[in-house]
Structure 1
Amino acid sequence: MKILYLDCTSGISGDMTLGALLDLGVDKDFFLQELSKLGVDGYEVKIQKKDRHSIQMMDVDVILTEQSHMNHENAPEAHEHSSEHDYSHEQQDHHHGYDHDHSHKGHDHHHDHGHSHEGNDHHHDHGHSHEGNDHHHNHSHSNERNLSMIQEIIDNSTISNGAKEISKKIFEEIARAEAKVHGKSIDQVHFHEVGAIDSIVDIVGVAICVAALDVDIIYASTLHDGNGFIQCRHGLLPVPVPAVMAMLEGSGIPMVQEDVNTEMITPTGMGIVKCLAKDYIKIPEMSIDKIGYGLGKRETGRFGAVRAILGTTHQLKSMDAQVE
């Protein structure tokens, strides 16, 4: 039996999970080709190895080009905080000394500020600022994307049926949490976070990778989040943030709060692991076939990555041998 184990002891976000799965060996060209089937343009995906704690990890960065940035600015005010909140984004230089794969959708240029997110899997919200860039965006609220619009994009694509089902399940989980937090029906929630291109890439990207890995079962560790507060558009939110807490509520999923004064679990990450993991346990008995590391953008003083472990259990074969 083929097992995928997600080690979330440093938290979990969309880009961390996607990086870890790609690091397990999902072919990058295949991944980018599948992603292009969504028919969503105006972005660039950079996939590259980076070094943290002297360990090579896979970093995935979704960079919005001018067209998608315009659409992104016109995206809705999804929730009181966007998943992945309106923090200031620290400027990062993308010209690293590593070979990397990237794909342009819609444009072959990029912004100098690159939309790198200092938070794990964080997306823009209205009125965000970039450190090192003296500009400010005024966002309008047209061209809103709600859950049905996201589902339509997925259904109209030619990605595998397995990837479609996983993607839609994750989006619906996040939508239900946001609806609960804001006291709306699921159809009334218009997403900035879920409707943003980078969230679509992260969530559908994870689904593409999981379908490609063709595992029999997925487990995860106990989830670890930080504490304190996160600054958002409407003020301070407690960590774990409300959308994450809504997904944890009544789920039976174990969570530990670490002495880290920031968010370690994002709503996208929470939605992904809740929809994928069958149980939350220590690494099960299995032979280890492959290990992948997905780098987070935030320095927390911890390991700062999702570790994905691909393994095989021979338990059934052993039982068959005993019977014989």
Structure 2
Amino acid sequence: MRTLAFDGRMGASGDMLCGALLAAGADPDVLTPVENALDVRYAIDDVMKNGIRATTVDVLLDADGERDDHDADGVDGGDGGHGDHDHRHDHDHNHGDHDHTHAEGAGPSRSYPEVVDLVESMSLPPRVEADALAIFETLGAAEAAVHGTDLDDTHFHEVGADDAIADVVGAALLLDDLAVERVVTTPLATGGGEVAMSHGTYPVPTPAVVEIAERADWSLRGGPVETELLTPTGAAILAHVADGVERLPTLRIERSGYGAGDHDFPEHPNVLRALVGDGESGLIEDDIRVLETNLDDAAPEVLGGLHDSLRAAGARDVSVVPTTMKKSRPGHLVKVVVKPEDAERVARRLAVETGTLGVRETGARHRWIANRAFETATVEVEGGEYEVGVKIASDSVGVVYDVSAEYDDAAAVAAETDVAVREVMRQAEERIKS
């Protein structure tokens, strides 16, 4: 499977993403529709970052080739990483990727519907238009949630500026040109400290970034420097296109490249790395934790109820295994599979439900899982039609290797019709396979 992997240890911004995609092999000529629609020009160059050659992308707006620097951030933080420049406008932001300021009146302030209309007027390929609109919806929804407004009433300030739109649509075009089948990102570094914005001073990560990360269900990491590294635009682009992974997947590397951030840090190259290559097709790597505890005095009723109570707390799988404990006493080993973010909550529920004095985390960090989809099959038995749920398991390239009817559904049909459960299941599975 052709995979694009981003290394998020120095965060991400809209222009850093564009630079990384270009450095990883995307064709800059695909950006022409944006230049024509917005009357802008992409200025692409190479710089050195702590000994690493990286690509910068600036969007030049006026006829003289000067950049009117509105970075793509909405209201909650900047979109750093524009070359080696120190941009100044009236309204000061101090960010990790570069120090710059925004004059809210220096560029167009568009509502969310106006941004949608503008993107739809660009005559983009359908899949690129859909990606760009989804990214702006993510940004708009995050701002609306933070400020308690409706999406259609949300006004973009910096995000509504032409160069900000060029970053978002440009990233969508470049990603489409790479023609990858999957995009992933490692946990994204947010930086630290505080950032000054039009509504006040906020901690890093900014509210919009936190909102986007929560919706995307991926991990953020503070540091490694005390400045803002992850911008709302960078977060929104990656939230739409990338799955979050704990570490880089196994890849046979075809191309790699670096998108440059603006500032230079003594010990950290300020770059976003992109890797393109063939990943192993098959099952999907899933980040997990495994919790265990030994019980020698749990009542059967408690053990019987553990599956439901732990699943309600977030457990993905629960096993209770008979074992022999000290002094040859019979006991039980409880093993619980959880997502990393649910581990503490599930461990507490396990302790409260069983009275165990300790819960340990074992060495497993990953599992290999199938893509799972559910469909409804209509079966005809005893002169009637009944619906039965069917689970479909496939690998990462879409090859279906198992079709399994839901037992509870089939059992309900069997009880009503006096047809064997296995016959109901067989019919449901055959309907899906055909």
After TM superposition, is the score higher than 0.5? Answer: yes
Q: How many residues are paired up?
A: 272
Q: In the TM superposition, what is the alpha-carbon distance from 1:315 to its structure 2 partner?
A: 3.7
- For 1:146-225, list aligned pairs within 5 A: 146-225=111-190
Distance in 1, matches of 2:18 and 2:101, equals 19
Equivalent residue in structure 2 for 1:52, among 42, 49, 54 = 49
Q: In the TM superposition, what is the alpha-carbon distance from 1:125 to its structure 2 partner?
A: 2.5
Q: In the TM superposition, what is the alpha-carbon distance from 1:119 to its structure 2 partner?
A: 5.2
Distance in 2, matches of 1:35 and 1:140, equals 20
Cα gap change, 1:214 to 1:243, in 2 (>3 Å): same
Q: Which has the higher contact order (CA 8 A, sep 6+)?
A: 1
Q: What SS does the corresponding residue of 1:194 show, helix, strand or coil?
A: helix
Distance in 2, matches of 1:90 and 1:72, equals 10
Task: Say whether the 8 Å CA contact 1:125–1:233 is kept in structure 2.
Answer: no
Within the alignment, does 1:126 sit opposite 2:103 as a pair?
Answer: yes
Cα gap change, 1:226 to 1:78, in 2 (>3 Å): closer
Distance in 2, matches of 1:314 and 1:237, equals 42
Indicate the residue corresponding to 1:22 in structure 2.
22
Task: Say whether the 8 Å CA contact 2:135–2:236 is kept in structure 1.
Answer: yes
Indicate the residue corresponding to 2:7 in structure 1.
7
Cα gap change, 1:147 to 1:7, in 2 (>3 Å): same
Within the alignment, does 1:243 sit opposite 2:242 as a pair?
Answer: no
Q: In the TM superposition, what is the alpha-carbon distance from 1:72 to its structure 2 partner?
A: 8.7
Gaps of 5+ in 1: 93-110, 112-116, 128-138, 320-324
Distance in 2, matches of 1:82 and 1:272, equals 15
Indicate the residue corresponding to 2:269 in structure 1.
303
Q: In the TM superposition, what is the alpha-carbon distance from 1:90 to its structure 2 partner?
A: 5.8
Distance in 1, matches of 2:169 and 2:113, equals 15
TM-score, normalised relative to structure 1: 0.75
Distance in 2, matches of 1:67 and 1:145, equals 24
Letter in 2 for 1:225: T
- CA deviation vs aligned residue, 1:158-190 (integer Å, no higher than 9, x gap): 221111111111111011111111111111111
Indicate the residue corresponding to 1:34 in structure 2.
33
Distance in 1, matches of 2:98 and 2:86, equals 15
Q: In the TM superposition, what is the alpha-carbon distance from 1:234 to its structure 2 partner?
A: 3.7
Indicate the residue corresponding to 2:285 in structure 1.
none
Within the alignment, does 1:264 sit opposite 2:229 as a pair?
Answer: yes
Task: Say whether the 8 Å CA contact 1:50–1:58 is kept in structure 2.
Answer: yes
Cα gap change, 1:82 to 1:11, in 2 (>3 Å): closer
Q: In the TM superposition, what is the alpha-carbon distance from 1:221 to its structure 2 partner?
A: 0.5
Letter in 1 for 2:102: D
Task: Say whether the 8 Å CA contact 2:96–2:226 is kept in structure 1.
Answer: no
Cα gap change, 1:235 to 1:299, in 2 (>3 Å): farther
Letter in 2 for 1:36: E
Q: In the TM superposition, what is the alpha-carbon distance from 1:150 to its structure 2 partner?
A: 1.2
Letter in 2 for 1:47: I
Task: Say whether the 8 Å CA contact 2:98–2:263 is kept in structure 1.
Answer: no
Q: In the TM superposition, what is the alpha-carbon distance from 1:198 to its structure 2 partner?
A: 1.6
- CA deviation vs aligned residue, 1:15-46 (integer Å, no higher than 9, x gap): 11100001112222x13323235x112x3321
Indicate the residue corresponding to 1:280 in structure 2.
245
Indicate the residue corresponding to 2:58 in structure 1.
61
Distance in 2, matches of 1:189 and 1:122, equals 26
Cα gap change, 1:223 to 1:271, in 2 (>3 Å): same
Task: Say whether the 8 Å CA contact 1:35–1:204 is kept in structure 2.
Answer: yes
Q: In the TM superposition, what is the alpha-carbon distance from 1:91 to its structure 2 partner?
A: 3.8
Moved over 4 A (4+): 66-73, 81-85, 121-124
- CA deviation vs aligned residue, 1:61-105 (integer Å, no higher than 9, x gap): 1233269999999xxx964x56459xxx9647xxxxxxxxxxxxx
TM-score, normalised relative to structure 2: 0.57
Task: Say whether the 8 Å CA contact 1:13–1:266 is kept in structure 2.
Answer: yes
Task: Say whether the 8 Å CA contact 1:19–1:59 is kept in structure 2.
Answer: yes
Q: What SS does the corresponding residue of 2:226 show, helix, strand or coil?
A: coil
Letter in 1 for 2:38: V
Letter in 1 for 2:23: D
Which structure is larger by alpha-carbon Rg, 1 or 2? 2
Q: In the TM superposition, what is the alpha-carbon distance from 1:226 to its structure 2 partner?
A: 1.1
Task: Indicate the RMSD between aligned Cα atoms, in angstroms.
Answer: 3.1
Gaps of 5+ in 2: 89-93, 283-394, 396-434
Task: Say whether the 8 Å CA contact 1:220–1:280 is kept in structure 2.
Answer: yes
- Which of the pair is proportionally richer in strand? 2
- Give the % identical residues: 29
